[in-house]
């Protein structure tokens, strides 16, 4: 049902123009663009965790920044709870939107001001959004936010500087800064990739508990399929600015229909790599093409071992639902 949709993206594009030389201008060469996000569509239901996965440079972080309104889309629409928020004009509209939609950044070492104490880090968003009529009221909110992310007792942390915290504690402070505004939607941009393996599961469990307790909805951006399966409900696989496969996470990972998804899964390291029965060959070839000169037809065909001349290199495949809640963008999806 449409009323259950928290966020909906339709035909979203983001092209970055390439600076032209005087020679190219005099020759009247057409402008060129980096097609970071090239017409993607998806929707996320309330309290759902949607994972966006893919190689570096595929456009997943740009998608997150577009949803956060950190940059304007070239084309396409973004709807939050049915309201078109693609182009917010006034400062008041942007401020209201930023309170509802918050972001957890990848690197806790650079996303927190090193000159701020933890108290200042958490008080800043309250001041910006004019929340709390007095310092005592804001202090109560800060202590509650630290308790939410299990930094207890909060009195021991509020006066610390970031360099006095471990990586996991810094990321918990960053999460507390996000949660202190009571957002409805959170973009989590690789929130555990900079952390030790030993504490990644703890942070993901914390985010899941906050989802359950506060009724949050997440867009989880990652390159790690193992954490995507562990943490998310739905998954979208991105390649060169497009979503090439999408569906319930177990369906996509247990039965990948797109050759690129298969290649990503084959690239996941095995816990016992010396065993002969688990040695795998990666069904992919070559390098990722430039986002400036995208191949004709299916953009994955130069690297696909199943590509057929006259089909894959001439026509672009459509996103098709091949089984319930499982879509793929491939001419031969389900037949390989």
Alpha helices (runs of H) in 164-286, residue ranges in sequence order:
167-179, 197-214, 225-231, 249-254, 259-266
| CATH placement of domain 2-250 | 3.40.50.300
How far is the C-alpha of 29 from the C-alpha of 335, rounded, in Å? 42
Lowest mean pLDDT among 89-93, 222-226, 268-272: 268-272
Cα–Cα distance between 252 and 258 in angstroms, integer?
9
**CB 156 within 8 Å of CB 187:** no
pLDDT of residue 183: 95
The per-residue pLDDT for 276 is 52
Residues 287-325: tens digit of each pLDDT: 888 888 898 999 999 999 888 998 999 999 999 999 888
- Cβ atoms 154, 146 nearer than 8 A: yes
Does residue 328 surpass a pLDDT of 90? yes
Q: What is the pLDDT of residues 105-117, one digit of tens each?
A: 988 888 899 999 9
**Domain definitions of the chain by residue range:** 2-250
Predicted confidence (pLDDT) at residue 196 exceeds the cutoff of 90: no
Q: Can you tell me which residue has the tokens 């070239």?
A: 74
Q: Looking at residues 183-197, what average pLDDT do you find?
A: 92
pLDDT per residue as tens digits for the range 100-145: 999 999 888 888 999 999 999 999 999 999 998 899 999 999 999 9
| Residue 248, pLDDT above cutoff 50 | yes
Q: How far apart are CA 253 and CA 335, in angstroms?
A: 17
């Amino acid at each position: 049902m449409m009323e259950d949709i928290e966020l909906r993206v339709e035909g979203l594009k983001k092209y970055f123009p390439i600076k032209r030389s005087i020679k190219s201008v005099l020759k009247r060469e057409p402008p060129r663009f980096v097609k970071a996000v090239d017409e993607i569509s998806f929707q996320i239901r309330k309290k759902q965790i949607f994972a966006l996965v893919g190689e570096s440079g595929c456009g997943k972080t740009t998608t997150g920044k577009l949803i956060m309104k950190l940059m304007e889309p070239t084309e396409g629409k973004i709807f939050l709870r049915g309201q078109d928020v693609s182009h917010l004009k006034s400062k008041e509209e942007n401020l209201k939107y930023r309170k509802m939609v918050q972001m957890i950044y990848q690197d806790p070492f650079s996303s927190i001001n090193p000159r701020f104490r933890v108290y200042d880090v958490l008080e800043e968003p309250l001041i910006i959004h004019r929340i709390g009529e007095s310092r005592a009221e804001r202090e109560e909110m800060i202590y509650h936010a630290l308790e939410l992310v299990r930094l207890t007792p909060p009195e021991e942390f509020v006066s610390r500087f970031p360099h006095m915290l471990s990586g996991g504690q810094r990321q918990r402070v960053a999460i507390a800064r996000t949660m202190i505004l009571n957002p409805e939607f959170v973009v989590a941009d690789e929130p555990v990739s900079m952390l030790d393996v030993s504490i990644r599961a703890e942070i993901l469990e914390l985010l899941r508990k906050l989802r359950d307790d506060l009724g949050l909805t997440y867009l989880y951006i990652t390159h790690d399929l193992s954490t995507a399966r562990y943490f998310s409900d739905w998954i979208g696989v991105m390649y060169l600015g497009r979503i090439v496969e999408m569906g319930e996470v177990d369906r996509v990972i247990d039965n990948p229909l797109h050759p690129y998804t298969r290649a990503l899964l084959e690239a996941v390291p095995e816990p016992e790599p010396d065993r002969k029965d688990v040695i795998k060959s990666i069904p992919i070839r070559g390098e990722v093409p430039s986002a400036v000169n995208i191949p004709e037809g299916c953009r994955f065909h130069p690297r696909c071992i199943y590509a057929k001349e006259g089909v894959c290199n001439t026509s672009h495949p459509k996103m098709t639902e091949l089984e319930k809640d499982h879509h793929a963008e491939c001419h031969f999806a389900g037949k390989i």
